[in-house]
A = this chain, B = another copy of it.
Amino acid sequence: MMHTIKPTSYNYLFSADLKPIAAVNPGDTVEIYTEDAYAGQLHSEKDLVSEACATTQFFNPQTGPIYINGAEPGDTLVVDFKSIEFTRPYAVTAIIKYFGGLQSTNATRMLQDSLPEKTWVWELTDDDKAIYNKALDIKLPVESFCGTMATAPKLESITAVAPGYFGGNMDVPDVCPGNRIYLPVNNEGALFYIGDCHARQGQGEVTGAALEIPAKCTLSFELIKGKAIEWPRVESRDKIMVIGSARPMEDAARIAYGSLVDWMVEDYGFDKLDAYMLIGQAGGLYVGNMVDSLYSLCASIEKKYLIHR
């Protein structure tokens, strides 16, 4: 069965208290329309965020929650991410006042003045396979993914700009078409959220914004019944990955690699110290975001080294 979910309004929370906008069965194909992180309010290099977004209080509108029939706390939700199609011919990115990885913020408070605001527009080209900024005359390959994918947290209602154990605004490029994303089910129906599509992004998303663009995401869900996970996992053709989110950044790294050890022990039969040693020699560890309320790091290991023991 095929669903098309095109919301007329968006949510700014990951919460079990919001009313589902759709209910789907595991195995159904679902097309979901998402808005960009600025709620579609930036269109030109003259649009500064402090002015163009002045009337919306929040960033990062989400499509959801989507109720997955049969999902219960303690299950794992698997998202089989099939494709992203952009619904606008250009992406935008911006420097916002007191936000980003190389200036002081409300969390890393300094007495210095903010960097100036600035906005850039990047136009899709080459059949949406590349994206071009005219002022800089730079063309980059499109490598699209969703900055945000979440299940509703347990108990709390969390702002859509935050990542966490429930997924959220992780800004990790491996949350992309072709990969399978595993999220913990914390509530009946899982209550899935998606948004914040990026035409591409550097590791760390250092300015605090990627190439932000609205899109149609196609995916389907599966449930692993009675199997709980603590942190979001990703599986590509070649690798298994865990995304840890925390501050300081080393704590995100510890969560990501520690949970990867768990996975290798539980599902691949490794001894804990052997798994630890092997990621020491063959693990991957890159920064997804260094700008959100928690930093997200993605730890990985290639499947070919994980013979079942």
Could you list which residues of chain A lie within 8 angstroms of chain B, going by C-beta atoms? Answer: 12-13, 15, 17, 57-58, 93, 95, 100-104, 106-116, 118, 120, 122, 135-138, 140, 155-159, 200-211, 230, 244, 246-251, 253-255, 257-259, 261, 272-274, 276-287, 290, 295, 297, 299, 305, 307
Contact = CB atoms under 8 A, between A and B. Distances in A.
A307 B138 contact: yes
Contact of A13 (B137, B156, B285): B156
A136 to B, nearest CB: 6
Nearest to A154: B57
A158 B155 CA distance: 8
A110 B118 contact: no
A108 B281 contact: no
Nearest to A118: B273
Contact of A108 (B17, B111, B251): B251
Nearest to A207: B280
B110 A103 contact: yes
A213 to B, nearest CB: 12
A140 B103 contact: no
Contacts of A203: 283-286
A253 B287 contact: yes
B12 A211 contact: no
B248 A248 contact: yes
A211 B276 CA distance: 14
B109 A206 contact: no
Contacts of A104: 104, 110, 112
Given A13-B156, A276-B102, A254 B285 contact: no
A251 B107 contact: yes
B253 A204 contact: yes
Contacts of A108: 108, 251, 254
